[in-house]
Amino acid sequence: MNPLVTPTWLASRLQNPNTIILDATLPPVGVTPPVDTHARYLDKHIPGALFFDIEELSDHSTPLPHMLLTSEDFSRNMSSLGVGNDMTIVVYEQESVFSAPRAWWTLLTFGAQHVYLLDGGLRAWTEAGLPTESGPVHRVPATFHATLNQEAVKNLSQLKDKIANHQQIVDARSAARFNGTAPEPRPGLSSGHMPGATSVPFTDLVEDGRLKPAEKLRDLFLAKQIDLNQPITTTCGSGVTAAVIALGLEVAGAKNVSLYDGSWAEYAQHPESIIEKSS
């Protein structure tokens, strides 16, 4: 299934009460002062769109960023938001490709049946001359029964087994952070990479503010010697842009993709973790 949909496709379903639209825009990293993406959502969004707050919809019982909620907590949050797991869910973001794939992956991992990402996001929607609205949106509560797909998400122990067994690990961070030549944005963490990991900066999957077409993605992964027919685990700094890689792999035709939720924020803080740097 191609997870990407066009503005025209979404526009034809805008009045369908079974279609849910979610703005899942996180503030870009390293921009000071931080961008208030919720305020931008209130100012301008696709009609009927709800705000999917990735930061808020994360597990705050752990110091690790953006970790998945429990199934019970995710069920409760989605139900109260008005999102049912049998609905057609379309996720988008305000600019480029950064955080919306994390919402796409989270919803799928918790058992939503029909989740898509709007190709080109809000910019493509407005460039197509389609309407927007402002202000808050409220929907009547729905029923979301979250069931975690254990195969889709990996923990630290499983990640280390993959390293030991030389399985494919794809790192979405910048090449400089991967190589250890640029610092991590989180204090106290060494940069570098996991043994055997392959560097594919998530920005390499994006052109003109949208995901590259399938053929270009396949060429990119092939050039990095990534076998789309073998298991692949994606990782990044905090589990957000690892989902961009997961989305790109899905579009390219990969069959067995998982995401290491703790990512570098967890891996690099453990003293026994092996960290390699490129000369």
List, as one string, the DSSP characters of 32-95: SSPP-HHHHHHHSBSTTPEE--TTTTS-TTSSSTTPPPPHHHHHHHHHHHT--TTSEEEEE-SS
In a domain? residue 277: no
pLDDT at position 29:
82
- 70 shares its domain with 109: yes
Overall size of the chain counted in residues = 279
pLDDT > 90: what percent of the chain? 95
CB count within 10 Å of CB 35 equals 15
Could you give the CA distance from residue 125 to residue 150 in angstroms, rounded to a whole number? 34
- The CA distance from 76 to 209, in Å, is 33
Residue 177: the pLDDT is: 97
| Residues 176 and 113 occupy one common structural domain | no
Question: 76-99, pLDDT tens digit by residue?
Answer: 999 999 999 999 999 999 999 999
Closest residue by Cα to residue 65 from 268, 275, 274, 276: 268
Taking residues 139-158, report their average pLDDT: 98
Answer yes or no: do 112 and 160 share one domain.
no
Domain range enclosing 188: 153-267
Strand stretches in 144-242, DSSP E: 153-154, 168-171, 198-199, 206-207, 210-211, 232-235
Which residues, in sequence order, are CB contacts of 12 under 8 Å at separation 6+?
A: none
- Is the residue at 16 inside a domain? yes
Instruction: Identify whether residues 261 and 188 lie together within a single domain.
Output: yes
Residue 136 is assigned to a structural domain of this protein: no
Confidence band (pLDDT; 50, 70, 90) for 160? Answer: very high
Alpha carbon distances (Å) from 64 to 7, 34, 68, 165, 171: 35, 20, 10, 26, 18
Q: Could you tell me the two tokens for 156?
A: 């630290």
Read off the pTM.
Answer: 0.97
Name beta bridge partners: 260: 154
| Mean pLDDT, the chain, integer | 97
191/92 same-domain check: no
Q: What is the pLDDT of residue 124?
A: 98
Q: Quick one: 90 and 166 in the same domain?
A: no
DSSP state of 276: B
Task: Choose the catalytic residue: 69, 236, 249, 251.
Answer: 236
Residue 34 lies in a domain: yes
139 within domain boundaries:
no
d(C-alpha 3, C-alpha 99), whole Å? 15
Residue 31 has pLDDT above 90, yes or no: no
Distance CA 133, CA 116 (A): 21
Q: Is 275 a member of any domain?
A: no
At 51, list the tokens: 């705000």
The span from the CA of 22 to the CA of 52, in Å, is 6
For range 256-270, the mean pLDDT: 98
184 and 73 assigned to the same domain: no
Task: Tell me whether residue 27 is in a domain.
Answer: yes
The whole-number pLDDT of residue 19 equals: 98
Number of domains in the chain: 2
Within a domain: 141: no
3-state DSSP assignment of residue 162: helix
Active site residue 236: yes
Instruction: Out of 92, 127, 162, pick the residue that ends a domain.
Output: 127
Same domain, 107 and 172: no
**What is the reported pLDDT for 32?**
85
Tens of pLDDT along 102-146?
999 999 999 999 999 999 999 999 999 999 999 999 999 999 999
pLDDT single digits (tens) 182-209: 999 988 999 999 999 999 999 999 999 9
